[in-house]
């Protein structure tokens, strides 16, 4: 049993309490047998307001108007998938009090870092949950690393791995870069033994070394790194949500916080990554994006079809484990939710969710169990995708919350959404938005692509809530060209296109004037300032 700091009487008292529970349960069973219509209800409630780390302790506070038959309110620590009176008791308080203090136990078998906490009272002889549940909301207080962030300009790119030794990124003047991190690659194989929460976890040393190289080379160029955490099929099945193990083919799969094995491994993975990339000699990763376009359930974050609220709960549970693991190692890390350009409604409701209803459900659930400083990454690709003209208004993207899509024309829709009181961060700020993937094909002409990247940059710097614009990608990929998308700033031979030069000089009035002349319209007249 975990330490109960607020309890008195020690082991003998707990033995007495367990005996009481047994007798009470038996009495309750007799009542139900003799009076089968008897309904057991909790008299009164408790409300938990916060769970925060203070030193090596966790302090949970709230209010209580409920009485437990044994005179004691019991605080249970629960896994994300547990409810009711499930879990392990970690602290006690007298009736009428909802203030509990107990050990964090970070990096131990009885760690409370990833738990939620619920008040349990004895009602009619039965342990009964009588409060809401809350998670720790300041995991950064447990961090041993506070790696300095490389926040700079918003201009970014998805780099080509084979060109990391070139000077293109420096020449372009980018300040940010994203890079995909596949869990299947790092968790398959060994070479790195990582001790966490009382167990030994194994990571592929060769693959991890590749990611080390990426992070260090980008850092050496003064570039801020964002890793996108992707749960590919190569991952240990433990990391794949039980509702995603039915053999359906997808690009990536929902993370698993739905059972004990999943939570334990996800916590270890998050903590390992947070620690390794916190200026510990392997490079620093400032930002983490959890998944890819997760509202696109069928293709990019596969889980069996369910309603948007339940889907958001499952993602939120996994997100919180990742958040607590990453920030408990690197206090300055920022963690992002990932959505695509579908906004008010999904293009195919049987396969996807609109970003907006998904985010509403996600935020509501997160707030109900302890608000945290999550950020948003979005992919405001043009509609249709193969049309690079992102500056001419269309019916696809409007400046209303009912807009079907969000593109670079109407990113104000996203930031207006995030500006609502119920969407604000715990500090009361509007959450930042990273436009973490957006690209325009040159197959319709290099001038069109050049105009598009110029307009995208102009729109991004005009919105104070945007913290990054990541052009996808540095160099054309053959598989995308076959699909009608040559979105690189370099062609397949690594030669610059016109868009390379215009992105390099994005913000330069002369280049803006040239782009406007080619577009036949003053691009600044199509900008929405926020």
How confident is the model at residue 35, as a pLDDT? 33
How confident is the model at residue 5, as a pLDDT? 34
How confident is the model at residue 37, as a pLDDT? 31
- For the chain, give the mean pLDDT: 92
Query: Would you list the DSSP string of 179-243?
Result: EEEEHHHHHSS-EEEEEETTEEEEEEHHHHHHHHHHHHHHHHTT-EEEEEEE--TTS-GGGB-GG
Q: Determine how β-strand 72-78 pairs with β-strand 116-123.
A: antiparallel
Find how far residue 139's CA is from the centre of its chain. 14
How confident is the model at residue 28, as a pLDDT? 39
Strand order in the sheet with 57-64: 88-94, 72-78, 116-123, 126-135, 46-54, 57-64, 99-103
Q: 145: closest CA among 333, 287, 335, 372?
A: 333
Q: What is the pLDDT of residues 65-108, one digit of tens each?
A: 999 999 999 999 999 999 999 999 999 999 999 999 999 999 99
Domain that holds residue 455: 158-526
Cβ-based burial of 220 (10 A; exposed 0-12, middle 13-18, buried ≥19): exposed
How confident is the model at residue 33, as a pLDDT? 34
Q: Which helix (H) or strand (E) holds 118?
A: strand 116-123
- Judged by average pLDDT, the poorest of 12-21, 377-386, 469-478 is 12-21
Query: Residue 458: pLDDT above 60?
Result: yes
Question: Over the range 160-179, which residues count as b (16 or more CB within 10 Å of their CB) and which as e?
Answer: beeebeeebbeebebbbbbb
Query: Residue 279: pLDDT above 60?
Result: yes
Has residue 274 been placed in a domain? Answer: yes
Has residue 413 been placed in a domain? Answer: yes
How confident is the model at residue 12, as a pLDDT? 41
How confident is the model at residue 398, as a pLDDT? 96
In this structure, are 272 and 213 located in the same domain?
Answer: yes
How confident is the model at residue 236, as a pLDDT? 77
In this structure, are 184 and 97 located in the same domain?
Answer: no
For the chain, how many structural domains are there in total? 2
Phi, psi for residue 210 in degrees, rounded to 5: -65, -45
In this structure, are 258 and 400 located in the same domain?
Answer: yes
Task: Count other Cβ atoms within 10 Å, centred on residue 255.
Answer: 32
CA gap 107, 115 in Å, rounded: 13
- Domain CATH for 372: 3.20.20.80
89 bridge partner residues: 76
- Judged by average pLDDT, the poorest of 33-37, 145-149, 397-401, 518-522 is 33-37
Has residue 152 been placed in a domain? Answer: no
**Model confidence at 321, in pLDDT bands (50, 70, 90)?**
very high
Has residue 60 been placed in a domain? Answer: yes
Mean pLDDT of 156-177: 95
How confident is the model at residue 40, as a pLDDT? 35
Has residue 142 been placed in a domain? Answer: no
In this structure, are 329 and 394 located in the same domain?
Answer: yes
Has residue 2 been placed in a domain? Answer: no
In this structure, are 334 and 219 located in the same domain?
Answer: yes
In this structure, are 165 and 111 located in the same domain?
Answer: no
Structure tokens that stand for 411 in this block? 């990113």
Has residue 5 been placed in a domain? Answer: no
In this structure, are 109 and 202 located in the same domain?
Answer: no
Phi, psi for residue 75 in degrees, rounded to 5: -100, 120
Q: What is the pLDDT of residues 189-228, one digit of tens each?
A: 999 999 999 999 999 999 999 999 999 999 999 999 999 9
In this structure, are 62 and 108 located in the same domain?
Answer: yes
Has residue 150 been placed in a domain? Answer: no
How confident is the model at residue 299, as a pLDDT? 95
In this structure, are 212 and 130 located in the same domain?
Answer: no
Q: What is the pLDDT of residues 10-56, one digit of tens each?
A: 334 333 334 433 334 443 333 333 333 323 334 579 999 999 999 99
Query: Residue 302: pLDDT above 80?
Result: yes
Q: What angle do CA 264, 267, 272 make, to 5 degrees?
A: 125
In this structure, are 209 and 103 located in the same domain?
Answer: no
Residue 348 is given by DSSP the state S
Task: Count other Cβ atoms within 10 Å, centred on residue 234.
Answer: 12
Query: Residue 421: pLDDT above 70?
Result: yes
More confident residue, 311 or 165: 311
What totals of helices (H) and strands (E) does the chain contain, helices first?
13, 17
Query: Would you list the DSSP string of 387-450?
Result: ----SS--SSS-SSTT-SB--TT-THHHHHHHTSGGG--TTSPPPPEEEEEE---STT-HHHHH
In this structure, are 112 and 177 located in the same domain?
Answer: no
- Domain CATH for 65: 2.60.40.10
In this structure, are 521 and 413 located in the same domain?
Answer: yes
């Amino acid at each position: 049993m975990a330490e109960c700091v607020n309890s008195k009487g020690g082991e003998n008292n707990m033995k007495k309490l367990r005996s009481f529970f047994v007798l009470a349960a038996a009495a309750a069973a007799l009542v139900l047998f003799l009076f089968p219509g008897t309904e057991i209800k909790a008299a009164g409630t408790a409300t938990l307001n916060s769970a925060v780390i203070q030193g090596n302790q966790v302090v949970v506070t709230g209010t209580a108007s409920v009485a437990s038959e044994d005179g004691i309110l019991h605080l249970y620590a629960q896994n994300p998938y547990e409810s009711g009176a499930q879990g392990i008791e970690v602290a006690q308080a007298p009736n009428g009090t909802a203030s509990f203090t107990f050990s964090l136990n970070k990096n131990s078998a009885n760690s409370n870092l990833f738990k939620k906490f619920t008040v349990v009272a004895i009602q009619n002889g039965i342990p009964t949950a009588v409060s809401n549940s809350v998670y720790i909301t300041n995991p950064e207080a447990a961090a041993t690393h506070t790696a300095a962030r490389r926040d700079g300009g918003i201009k970014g790119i998805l780099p080509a791995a084979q060109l990391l030794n070139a000077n293109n990124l420096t020449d372009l003047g980018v300040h940010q870069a994203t890079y995909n991190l596949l869990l299947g690659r790092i968790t398959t194989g060994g070479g790195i033994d990582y001790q966490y929460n009382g167990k030994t976890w194994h990571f592929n040393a060769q693959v991890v070394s590749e990611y080390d190289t990426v992070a260090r080379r980008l850092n050496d160029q003064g570039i801020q790194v964002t890793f996108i955490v992707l749960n590919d099929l190569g991952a240990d099945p433990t990391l794949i949500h039980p509702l995603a193990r039915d053999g359906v083919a997808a690009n990536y799969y929902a993370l698993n916080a739905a059972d004990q094995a999943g939570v334990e491994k996800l916590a270890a993975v998050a903590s390992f990554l947070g620690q390794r990339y916190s200026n510990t000699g392997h490079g620093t990763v400032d930002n983490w994006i959890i998944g890819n376009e997760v509202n696109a359930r069928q293709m990019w974050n596969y889980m069996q079809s369910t309603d948007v609220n339940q889907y958001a709960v499952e993602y939120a549970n996994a997100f919180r484990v990742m958040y607590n693991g990453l920030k408990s190692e690197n206090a300055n890390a920022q963690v992002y939710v990932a959505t695509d350009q579908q906004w008010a409604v999904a293009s195919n409701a049987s396969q996807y969710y609109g970003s907006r209803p998904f985010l509403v459900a996600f935020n509501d659930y997160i707030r109900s169990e302890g608000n945290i400083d999550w950020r948003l990454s979005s992919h405001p690709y043009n509609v249709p995708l193969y049309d690079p003209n992102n500056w001419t208004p269309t019916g696809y993207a409007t400046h209303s919350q009912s807009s079907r899509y969000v593109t670079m024309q109407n990113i104000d829709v996203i930031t207006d959404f995030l500006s609502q009181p119920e969407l604000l961060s715990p500090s009361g700020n509007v959450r930042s938005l990273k436009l973490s993937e957006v690209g325009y094909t040159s197959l319709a002409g290099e001038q069109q692509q050049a105009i598009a990247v110029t307009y995208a940059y102009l729109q991004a710097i005009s919105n104070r809530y945007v913290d990054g614009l990541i052009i996808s990608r540095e160099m054309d990929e053959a598989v995308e060209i076959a699909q009608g998308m040559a979105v690189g700033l370099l062609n397949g031979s690594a030669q610059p296109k016109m868009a390379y030069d215009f992105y390099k000089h994005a913000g330069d009035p002369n280049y803006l004037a040239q782009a406007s002349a080619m577009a036949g319209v003053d691009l600044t007249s199509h900008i929405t300032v926020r």
